[in-house]
Amino acid sequence: MSHRARKRFGQNFLVEDAVIRRIVDAIAPAKGELLIEIGPGRGALTVPLVGSGADLLVLEIDRDLAGTLQARYEGRADIRVICGDALQTDPGELADDRAYRLVGNLPYNISTPLVFHVLESRKAPVDMHFMLQKEVVERMAAKPGGKRYGRLSVMCQNQCEVVPLFDIDRSSFDPAPKVQSTLVRLLPRREPLSGYAQMPDLNRVVRQAFSRRRKTLRNSLEGLIDANALESLGIDAGLRAEQLSVPDFIRLAGALTGNDTA
């Protein structure tokens, strides 16, 4: 399929056959299950996924690419092609009450907002297999104490189990991106560790703490939680945000609502 990559869509097409096979093996599609592919592009993953026996729904923002895929698979009952913006589409609604899995080679400029958009769906997927910028995956999976650990780490791990699978070299794409990619498996939790009701307060605490990450909690959370409240929760006010675990942040969020979940 010939199609010149468009910068406005952040297109980098997967072209390496060995990598494609490895990704499909990691996804392990099963006959009869529903897969939703975001950004199929030229169809590098679409072709082997269709051949797996799974039902496939593909969502492509580029009208030309969507039209080519629609023509290619016209008349087949096991694949449906939709032209649309993934950030404006609820995958749970597309699934029409069926359990579904998400896959995709995501443009770097929308990868993080798209993951959280999906997690806000009325029905979360069984799992997600995404090719993302390696640095983004490292931040998602980061543990407390390192430079990679931040707001994305806490908010993502609150809602998902993050499993980095393997790196994908720049040469596996056309055109080659400027950065390395990683295939990651995200397993949404039945309910966030914080509970749904506490999500706004968790986001508030985490956002403020990491916006001043070089400062101690005593200063970074000033105006939100005072040092005495931190001590009452068993959290040292002299620590920095990157030294707190996800459960620590959840306890801080609980203090805002008077519902400590420790």
pLDDT tens digits, 37-89: 999 988 899 999 998 999 999 999 999 899 999 999 999 999 999 999 999 99
Q: Is the pLDDT of residue 261 over 60?
A: no
- Residue labelled with tokens 């997690």: 119
Instruction: Mark which of 164, 188, 212 sits at the end of a domain.
Output: 188
List alpha helices for 126-187, DSSP H: 134-141, 151-159
Instruction: Mark which of 136, 167, 188 sits at the end of a domain.
Output: 188
Residue 23 and residue 115 share a domain: yes
- Residue labelled with tokens 């295939």: 183
Residue 131 and residue 50 share a domain: yes
Residue 53 and residue 25 share a domain: yes
Per-residue b/e over 14-48, b at no fewer than 16 CB within 10 Å? bbbeebbeebbeebebeeebbbbbbbbbbbbbbeb
Q: How many domains does the chain have?
A: 2
Gyration radius of the chain's alpha carbons: 20
| Segment 132-141, tens digit of pLDDT | 999 999 999 9
Distance CA 182, CA 130 (A): 8
Q: Is the pLDDT of residue 8 over 80?
A: no
The answer to whether 141 and 117 have CB atoms below 8 angstroms apart is no
CATH of the domain at 221: 1.10.8.100
Mention every residue, 6+ apart, whose C-beta is less than 8 A from residue 256: 201, 204, 205, 224, 225
Residue 61 and residue 134 share a domain: yes
Distance CA 196, CA 188 (A): 13
1 in a domain, yes or no? no
Mean pLDDT across 8-34: 87
User: Any idea how long the chain is?
Assistant: 262
| Segment 91-127, tens digit of pLDDT | 999 999 899 999 998 888 888 999 999 988 879 999 9
193 in a domain, yes or no? no
| DSSP-derived secondary structure for 21-46 | HHHHHHH---TT-EEEEE--TTTTTH
Instruction: Mark which of 142, 165, 188 sits at the end of a domain.
Output: 188
| Segment 170-194, tens digit of pLDDT | 999 888 888 899 999 999 999 999 9
Residue 138 and residue 15 share a domain: yes
203 in a domain, yes or no? yes
Residue 222 and residue 164 share a domain: no
Confidence of residue 257 (pLDDT cuts 50, 70, 90): low
2 in a domain, yes or no? no
Average pLDDT for the chain: 90
Work out whether strand 128-133 and strand 181-188 pair parallel, antiparallel, or are unpaired: antiparallel
40 in a domain, yes or no? yes
Residue 183 and residue 210 share a domain: no
Distance CA 132, CA 153 (A): 15
3-state secondary structure at position 79: strand
H-run or E-run covering 102: strand 100-105
Q: Which of 105, 119, 82 is nearest to 196 (CA)?
A: 119
Distance CA 213, CA 23 (A): 36
So what's the pLDDT on residue 196? 92
Residues of the chain with pLDDT > 90, as a percent, come to 78
Q: Which of the given ranges, 61-65, 208-212, 257-261, has the highest pLDDT on average?
A: 208-212
Distance CA 94, CA 97 (A): 8
Distance CA 56, CA 51 (A): 10
Residue 204 and residue 80 share a domain: no
So what's the pLDDT on residue 13? 82
CATH of the domain at 115: 3.40.50.150
Residue 39 and residue 71 share a domain: yes
53 in a domain, yes or no? yes
So what's the pLDDT on residue 7? 46
So what's the pLDDT on residue 12? 78
Residue 174 and residue 57 share a domain: yes
Residue 80 and residue 204 share a domain: no
144 in a domain, yes or no? yes
Q: Which domain holds residue 209?
A: 199-257
Q: What is the pTM of this model?
A: 0.90
Per-residue b/e over 113-145, b at no fewer than 16 CB within 10 Å? ebbebbbebeebbebbbbbbbbebbbbbbbebe
194 in a domain, yes or no? no
Residue 165 and residue 49 share a domain: yes
